Amino acid sequence: MPTSKTAEHRKSTRYIREDVKVSVVKPSLLGLKETIKCKLMDISSSGLQISTPEKFGAAYNVTVNLAFDSGKIFNIKAKIVNKRVINNYLSIHSFPPIKSLLKDKDISLKRLCLNESDKEINAKFRNLGSSSVKILTPKPLDKKKQYCLIFTLSNEKKHKAWTQVSEYKHQIINHYGIQFEKNNDELGDYMVEDMTTLIFQ
């Protein structure tokens, strides 16, 4: 469902915050509690979305711990209401050094893409260095094939570098929608008061 359609059914605005550390406390065997660190995707006064390699059951009761960089902490009882599984394939690629391309301080890297036989592959790039890059793809790459990295510079010139997968890892990430037991007005007010960069969806 497109974001615009989803947003119409939300009771409150969901904000994207990079200054909040999230952990989920779930009950375990013998009444013990297990705390799991998660990545925050978006948050509102009524719930949040997280991603984690950890598996939770459907309609699972948890406690959400929110720690803002400002020092403010919230502990909120909640329930997991939906789940989506994302498969990522992480590959590491090396290529001839590109430092010489960027020796002019007025020239920067504008775009990077990965091609196979002149067809662009859906990919996200991480940890780009002068001679290597990590690439996330929704489908596995062939270790035996050669791929083409295309660097587009700010002056619109393009540089091509042939590369192969040197390391490879399959990652399964679980995305969870979590609903608070009740709307937390204190959290909603604090997010607005503490907001330095307005990013919402």
- What value does the mean pLDDT of the chain take? 87
Q: Is domain 3-85+173-194 annotated with CATH 3.40.50.2000?
A: no
Portions of the chain given CATH number 2.40.10.220: 3-85+173-194
Distance from C-alpha of 87 to C-alpha of 93, rounded to nearest angstrom = 19
Single-letter residue type at 142: D
Question: For the segment 61-111, what is each residue's pLDDT rounded down to a tens digit?
Answer: 999 999 999 999 999 999 999 999 988 899 999 998 888 887 888 888 899
Q: Please tell me the predicted confidence (pLDDT) of residue 29.
A: 66
Tokens of 60: 């699972």
Portions of the chain given CATH number 2.60.40: 87-171
Q: Is 78 helix (H, G, I), strand (E, B) or coil?
A: strand
Query: Where does the pLDDT of residue 45 fall: very low under 50, low under 70, confident under 90, or very high at 90 and above?
Result: very high
Specify the range with the lowest mean pLDDT, choosing from 56-60, 126-130, 173-177: 56-60
Q: Is 148 helix (H, G, I), strand (E, B) or coil?
A: strand
Specify the range with the lowest mean pLDDT, choosing from 32-41, 50-59, 83-92, 129-138: 50-59
Question: For the segment 175-194, what is each residue's pLDDT rounded down to a tens digit?
Answer: 999 999 999 999 999 988 88
Distance from C-alpha of 137 to C-alpha of 61, rounded to nearest angstrom = 33
φ and ψ of 111, to 5 deg:
-155, 150
Q: Is domain 87-171 annotated with CATH 2.60.40?
A: yes
